Amino acid sequence: MTTTLRPERPEEPVPGGGRSRRWQICVNGRQVGGLRTTALPWGSQWWGEISEMEVAEGRRRGRGTVGALAAEEVLRGWDCTRVDVNIPAGATAALRLAHALGYTERMCNMAKRLGPVPDLSPGLTARPIGAAEYPDWLARARAGYLHDLVASGLTEQQARAKADADHRNVLPQGPATPDVALRRLYGPDGTPLGTLWTALRQAVLPNGLPLAWVMTVEVDPARRGRGYGRALMLLAERECLAAGVRDLGLNVFSSNTVATGLYESLGYRVTNRILGKSLR
Protein backbone atom coordinates (compact mmCIF):
# COMPACT_ATOMS: atom_id res chain seq x y z
CA MET A 1 0.00 0.00 0.00
CA THR A 2 1.33 3.42 -0.97
CA THR A 3 0.76 6.54 1.15
CA THR A 4 1.14 9.88 -0.63
CA LEU A 5 0.17 13.54 -0.40
CA ARG A 6 -2.19 14.97 -3.02
CA PRO A 7 -3.08 18.69 -3.29
CA GLU A 8 -6.56 19.34 -1.95
CA ARG A 9 -6.74 23.05 -2.78
CA PRO A 10 -4.73 25.56 -4.81
CA GLU A 11 -1.79 27.16 -3.06
CA GLU A 12 -2.81 30.17 -0.97
CA PRO A 13 -0.79 33.33 -0.30
CA VAL A 14 -0.04 34.21 3.33
CA PRO A 15 0.31 37.81 4.59
CA GLY A 16 3.93 38.87 4.57
CA GLY A 17 4.83 36.94 1.44
CA GLY A 18 4.35 33.39 2.71
CA ARG A 19 2.68 30.43 1.03
CA SER A 20 0.32 27.71 2.26
CA ARG A 21 -1.41 24.63 0.87
CA ARG A 22 -3.85 22.02 2.11
CA TRP A 23 -3.07 18.38 1.20
CA GLN A 24 -4.89 15.06 1.28
CA ILE A 25 -3.16 12.05 2.81
CA CYS A 26 -4.00 9.22 0.40
CA VAL A 27 -3.49 5.45 0.42
CA ASN A 28 -3.52 3.97 -3.07
CA GLY A 29 -5.25 7.14 -4.23
CA ARG A 30 -7.98 7.08 -1.56
CA GLN A 31 -8.11 9.91 1.00
CA VAL A 32 -7.57 8.83 4.62
CA GLY A 33 -6.62 12.20 6.16
CA GLY A 34 -5.17 15.61 5.51
CA LEU A 35 -2.73 18.31 6.59
CA ARG A 36 -1.55 21.82 5.73
CA THR A 37 1.95 23.08 4.99
CA THR A 38 2.85 26.75 5.42
CA ALA A 39 6.09 28.59 4.70
CA LEU A 40 6.80 32.02 6.18
CA PRO A 41 9.75 34.29 5.32
CA TRP A 42 11.98 35.38 8.19
CA GLY A 43 14.53 37.71 6.64
CA SER A 44 16.46 35.69 4.04
CA GLN A 45 15.19 32.38 5.45
CA TRP A 46 11.95 30.42 5.23
CA TRP A 47 10.23 28.87 8.23
CA GLY A 48 7.88 25.91 7.80
CA GLU A 49 4.78 24.84 9.71
CA ILE A 50 2.72 21.65 9.57
CA SER A 51 -0.84 22.08 10.85
CA GLU A 52 -4.42 20.76 10.56
CA MET A 53 -3.09 17.19 10.43
CA GLU A 54 -5.64 14.42 10.87
CA VAL A 55 -5.88 10.75 9.97
CA ALA A 56 -9.54 9.78 9.79
CA GLU A 57 -9.09 6.20 8.65
CA GLY A 58 -6.53 3.51 9.44
CA ARG A 59 -4.84 5.03 12.45
CA ARG A 60 -1.85 3.24 13.99
CA ARG A 61 -0.74 2.12 10.52
CA GLY A 62 1.99 4.69 10.07
CA ARG A 63 -0.04 6.96 7.82
CA GLY A 64 0.45 9.98 10.04
CA THR A 65 4.20 9.35 10.04
CA VAL A 66 4.37 9.11 6.26
CA GLY A 67 2.16 12.17 5.88
CA ALA A 68 4.35 14.24 8.20
CA LEU A 69 7.56 13.14 6.48
CA ALA A 70 6.06 13.96 3.07
CA ALA A 71 5.03 17.39 4.41
CA GLU A 72 8.62 17.98 5.53
CA GLU A 73 9.79 17.23 1.97
CA VAL A 74 7.29 19.77 0.63
CA LEU A 75 8.70 22.38 3.01
CA ARG A 76 12.28 21.55 2.04
CA GLY A 77 11.22 22.12 -1.57
CA TRP A 78 9.92 25.50 -0.45
CA ASP A 79 13.42 26.29 0.91
CA CYS A 80 12.42 26.06 4.60
CA THR A 81 15.30 25.49 7.01
CA ARG A 82 13.12 24.71 10.06
CA VAL A 83 9.67 23.31 10.72
CA ASP A 84 7.27 23.69 13.65
CA VAL A 85 4.19 21.67 14.55
CA ASN A 86 1.44 23.08 16.73
CA ILE A 87 -0.22 20.37 18.84
CA PRO A 88 -3.40 21.08 20.84
CA ALA A 89 -3.35 20.27 24.55
CA GLY A 90 -4.60 16.74 25.12
CA ALA A 91 -3.63 15.43 21.67
CA THR A 92 -1.37 12.76 23.15
CA ALA A 93 -1.14 10.64 19.98
CA ALA A 94 0.05 13.63 17.93
CA LEU A 95 2.56 14.51 20.64
CA ARG A 96 3.97 10.97 20.61
CA LEU A 97 4.28 11.08 16.82
CA ALA A 98 6.12 14.41 16.92
CA HIS A 99 8.60 13.09 19.48
CA ALA A 100 9.14 9.94 17.42
CA LEU A 101 9.96 12.09 14.37
CA GLY A 102 12.60 14.05 16.27
CA TYR A 103 10.66 17.18 17.20
CA THR A 104 11.43 18.82 20.54
CA GLU A 105 9.16 21.17 22.45
CA ARG A 106 10.20 24.82 22.15
CA MET A 107 7.29 26.59 23.80
CA CYS A 108 3.65 26.33 24.70
CA ASN A 109 0.65 28.62 24.45
CA MET A 110 -1.38 29.33 27.57
CA ALA A 111 -4.65 31.23 27.95
CA LYS A 112 -7.13 32.46 30.53
CA ARG A 113 -10.68 33.81 30.57
CA LEU A 114 -10.40 36.99 32.61
CA GLY A 115 -12.48 37.82 35.65
CA PRO A 116 -12.19 40.62 38.22
CA VAL A 117 -8.60 41.74 38.74
CA PRO A 118 -7.28 43.19 42.02
CA ASP A 119 -5.66 46.60 42.11
CA LEU A 120 -1.89 46.95 42.07
CA SER A 121 -0.23 46.66 45.45
CA PRO A 122 0.01 49.96 47.37
CA GLY A 123 2.89 52.09 46.13
CA LEU A 124 3.15 50.44 42.70
CA THR A 125 2.31 52.54 39.65
CA ALA A 126 2.42 52.01 35.90
CA ARG A 127 3.07 54.48 33.10
CA PRO A 128 3.20 54.17 29.30
CA ILE A 129 6.59 53.69 27.62
CA GLY A 130 6.88 56.82 25.48
CA ALA A 131 8.81 57.65 22.34
CA ALA A 132 11.93 58.75 24.26
CA GLU A 133 12.16 55.46 26.19
CA TYR A 134 11.08 53.22 23.33
CA PRO A 135 14.44 52.61 21.54
CA ASP A 136 16.14 51.44 24.74
CA TRP A 137 13.17 49.28 25.70
CA LEU A 138 13.04 47.72 22.21
CA ALA A 139 16.74 46.87 22.28
CA ARG A 140 16.35 45.11 25.64
CA ALA A 141 13.17 43.31 24.55
CA ARG A 142 14.79 42.11 21.35
CA ALA A 143 17.91 40.89 23.19
CA GLY A 144 15.79 38.89 25.62
CA TYR A 145 13.73 37.41 22.78
CA LEU A 146 16.89 36.42 20.90
CA HIS A 147 18.22 34.65 23.98
CA ASP A 148 14.99 32.70 24.44
CA LEU A 149 14.78 31.75 20.75
CA VAL A 150 18.32 30.39 20.73
CA ALA A 151 17.67 28.53 23.99
CA SER A 152 14.60 26.95 22.36
CA GLY A 153 16.72 25.37 19.61
CA LEU A 154 17.08 27.98 16.86
CA THR A 155 20.41 28.97 15.36
CA GLU A 156 21.66 32.51 15.94
CA GLN A 157 20.82 33.40 12.33
CA GLN A 158 17.31 31.94 12.55
CA ALA A 159 16.68 33.70 15.86
CA ARG A 160 17.78 37.10 14.54
CA ALA A 161 15.63 36.77 11.43
CA LYS A 162 12.56 35.77 13.44
CA ALA A 163 13.08 38.46 16.10
CA ASP A 164 13.45 41.19 13.47
CA ALA A 165 10.36 40.06 11.58
CA ASP A 166 8.21 39.65 14.69
CA HIS A 167 8.99 43.09 16.11
CA ARG A 168 8.57 44.74 12.71
CA ASN A 169 5.20 43.07 12.14
CA VAL A 170 3.60 43.70 15.53
CA LEU A 171 5.03 47.16 16.32
CA PRO A 172 4.96 48.90 12.93
CA GLN A 173 4.37 52.32 14.54
CA GLY A 174 6.49 51.80 17.63
CA PRO A 175 4.83 52.98 20.86
CA ALA A 176 2.04 54.58 18.77
CA THR A 177 0.95 51.21 17.30
CA PRO A 178 -2.84 50.86 17.82
CA ASP A 179 -4.16 48.31 20.34
CA VAL A 180 -0.78 47.92 22.05
CA ALA A 181 -0.11 48.54 25.73
CA LEU A 182 3.55 49.26 26.53
CA ARG A 183 3.90 49.88 30.25
CA ARG A 184 6.67 50.33 32.83
CA LEU A 185 6.07 49.44 36.47
CA TYR A 186 7.48 51.71 39.21
CA GLY A 187 8.00 51.27 42.93
CA PRO A 188 7.01 53.72 45.70
CA ASP A 189 10.23 55.69 45.29
CA GLY A 190 9.91 55.89 41.51
CA THR A 191 12.38 53.07 40.84
CA PRO A 192 11.66 51.20 37.55
CA LEU A 193 10.81 47.59 38.37
CA GLY A 194 9.88 46.02 35.04
CA THR A 195 8.08 46.37 31.72
CA LEU A 196 5.05 44.91 29.98
CA TRP A 197 4.07 44.61 26.32
CA THR A 198 0.52 43.47 25.57
CA ALA A 199 -1.15 43.26 22.15
CA LEU A 200 -4.77 43.98 23.02
CA ARG A 201 -6.30 42.49 19.86
CA GLN A 202 -3.75 40.00 18.58
CA ALA A 203 -6.28 37.53 17.14
CA VAL A 204 -9.95 36.58 16.92
CA LEU A 205 -11.25 33.45 18.65
CA PRO A 206 -13.57 30.97 16.91
CA ASN A 207 -16.50 32.56 18.79
CA GLY A 208 -15.68 35.91 17.18
CA LEU A 209 -14.34 37.54 20.36
CA PRO A 210 -10.94 39.25 20.48
CA LEU A 211 -7.90 37.57 22.01
CA ALA A 212 -5.19 39.69 23.64
CA TRP A 213 -1.62 38.46 23.93
CA VAL A 214 1.16 39.12 26.43
CA MET A 215 4.18 39.64 24.21
CA THR A 216 6.82 40.27 26.89
CA VAL A 217 7.00 40.58 30.66
CA GLU A 218 10.37 41.60 32.05
CA VAL A 219 11.34 42.28 35.66
CA ASP A 220 14.60 44.06 36.43
CA PRO A 221 17.12 41.27 37.22
CA ALA A 222 18.04 42.81 40.58
CA ARG A 223 14.39 42.80 41.68
CA ARG A 224 13.22 39.35 40.64
CA GLY A 225 11.59 37.04 43.14
CA ARG A 226 9.61 39.82 44.85
CA GLY A 227 6.24 39.42 43.13
CA TYR A 228 6.71 42.05 40.44
CA GLY A 229 6.19 39.54 37.64
CA ARG A 230 2.80 38.74 39.13
CA ALA A 231 2.04 42.47 39.40
CA LEU A 232 2.90 42.96 35.71
CA MET A 233 0.64 40.07 34.69
CA LEU A 234 -2.23 41.52 36.72
CA LEU A 235 -1.53 44.85 35.02
CA ALA A 236 -1.84 43.10 31.63
CA GLU A 237 -5.22 41.70 32.68
CA ARG A 238 -6.41 45.14 33.79
CA GLU A 239 -5.33 46.64 30.45
CA CYS A 240 -7.31 43.96 28.61
CA LEU A 241 -10.47 44.47 30.62
CA ALA A 242 -10.22 48.25 30.17
CA ALA A 243 -10.10 47.63 26.40
CA GLY A 244 -13.13 45.34 26.55
CA VAL A 245 -11.15 42.13 25.98
CA ARG A 246 -11.88 39.13 28.23
CA ASP A 247 -9.45 36.50 26.86
CA LEU A 248 -5.69 36.71 27.30
CA GLY A 249 -3.02 34.36 25.97
CA LEU A 250 0.75 34.10 25.99
CA ASN A 251 3.75 32.07 24.88
CA VAL A 252 6.17 30.60 27.38
CA PHE A 253 9.42 28.93 26.38
CA SER A 254 9.65 25.39 27.71
CA SER A 255 12.94 26.07 29.48
CA ASN A 256 11.39 28.90 31.55
CA THR A 257 9.91 26.82 34.36
CA VAL A 258 9.71 29.79 36.75
CA ALA A 259 7.45 31.72 34.36
CA THR A 260 5.35 28.62 33.69
CA GLY A 261 4.77 28.22 37.42
CA LEU A 262 3.72 31.87 37.74
CA TYR A 263 1.23 31.64 34.89
CA GLU A 264 -0.27 28.42 36.24
CA SER A 265 -0.69 30.02 39.67
CA LEU A 266 -2.64 32.85 38.01
CA GLY A 267 -5.02 30.42 36.32
CA TYR A 268 -3.50 30.12 32.85
CA ARG A 269 -3.74 26.70 31.18
CA VAL A 270 -1.87 25.17 28.25
CA THR A 271 -3.81 25.31 24.97
CA ASN A 272 -1.11 24.27 22.47
CA ARG A 273 2.42 22.93 22.41
CA ILE A 274 4.88 24.05 19.72
CA LEU A 275 7.58 21.57 18.74
CA GLY A 276 10.22 22.05 16.07
CA LYS A 277 13.28 20.67 14.35
CA SER A 278 15.82 21.58 11.67
CA LEU A 279 15.16 20.55 8.06
CA ARG A 280 18.82 20.62 7.11
Cα-to-chain-centroid distance, residue 239: 20
What is residue 58's predicted lDDT score, i.e. its pLDDT? 54
DSSP 52-72: EEEE-SSTTSSHHHHHHHHHH
pTM: 0.87
Give me the pLDDT at residue 69, please.
Answer: 94
pLDDT at 246: 97
**Within the chain, which residues score under 70 in pLDDT?**
1, 57-61
Q: How many CB atoms lie within 10 A of CB 229?
A: 23
Provide CB contacts within 8 A for 279, sequence distance 6+.
48, 72, 75, 76, 80, 81, 82, 83
- Which pLDDT value is given to residue 60? 62
Would you state the pLDDT for residue 1? 61
117 Cβ contact partners less than 8 Å away, ≥ 6 residues apart:
234, 237, 238, 241
State the amino acid at position 131 in one-letter form.
A
pLDDT value of residue 159: 87
Dihedral (Cα; 205, 148, 133, 118), 10-degree rounding: 50
Question: Which domains, ranges and CATH numbers included, belong to the chain?
Answer: 3-102 (3.40.630.30), 112-278 (3.40.630.30)
pLDDT value at residue 152: 83
Residue 162: name the closest of 107, 114, 208 by CA. 107
Q: What does the pLDDT read at residue 62?
A: 80
- For residue 188, the tally of other CB atoms under 10 A from its CB is 10
What pLDDT sits at residue 57? 63
Query: Tens digits of per-residue pLDDT, 192-228?
Result: 999 999 999 989 999 999 999 999 999 999 999 999 9
What does the pLDDT read at residue 267?
97
How high is the pLDDT of residue 192? Answer: 96
Note the pLDDT of residue 15. 81
H or E element in which residue 19 lies: strand 18-27
Per-residue pLDDT tens digits for 138-177: 999 999 999 988 888 888 888 888 888 888 888 999 999 9
Q: 48, 35, 38, 45: which is closest to 84 by C-alpha? A: 48
